[in-house]
Amino acid sequence: MHIHKYEKIWLWSGAVCLTIFLLIVGVSAFAMGNQPPSHMETIDPEKAAVTAPFDKPGLNKIGDKEYEAVMLAQAFTYTPSKMKVPLGSTVHFKVTSTDVVHGFEIPSTNVNMMITPGYVSEITHTFDKPGKYLILCNEYCGAGHQLMAVTLEVTL
């Protein structure tokens, strides 16, 4: 079969462009160790509940209006299930999962992360409005997924 010379050139240049593109994407995505910044710390999910600081989940005061919320996500709740901080508090959430992938979202804030077993996810938020904030799971995790929510109360 005869292929026109220009057609051959275009076919080859297309293949070369595609190869270069895939190489760039592949190298930048995997070879340089790029990972989401919130997923830097690792943990054994089966031992998460007995590994510090997750063996004592809860709210720890670490400064003036500054707290660390150590939380465990498991089907189908979070531990602790209730927290209370004064208005204007900055909360550093440190969350891991003991089983499957869960979500961690606080509607009306920018808090939204994925909780992957084996990793510690961290996010910080300052609560400038009083009220009851819902912390909920936005990753389908099983039959009780829609029940997976706890509250954080910001008091005046």
Q: Applying CB under 6 A, which residues contact ligand CUA?
A: 76, 102-103, 137, 139-141, 145, 148
Instruction: Using alpha carbons, select from 43, 66, 63, 67 the residue that is nearest to residue 55.
Output: 43
Biggest alpha carbon distance in the chain?
81
Nearest residue (CB) to ligand CUA, 67 versus 93? 93
Report the residue number, 125 or 145, with the smaller CB distance to ligand CUA: 145
User: How many angstroms from the chain centroid is the CA of residue 32?
Assistant: 21
Q: Which is nearer to ligand CUA, 103 or 117 (CB)?
A: 103
Q: Which is nearer to ligand CUA, 104 or 133 (CB)?
A: 104
Shortest Cβ distance from residue 6 to ligand CUA (Å)?
A: 56
Cβ neighbourhood burial of 85 (10 Å; 0-12, 13-18, 19+): buried
- 150 forms beta bridges with 135
Closest contact distance (angstroms) between CB of 102 and ligand CUA is 4
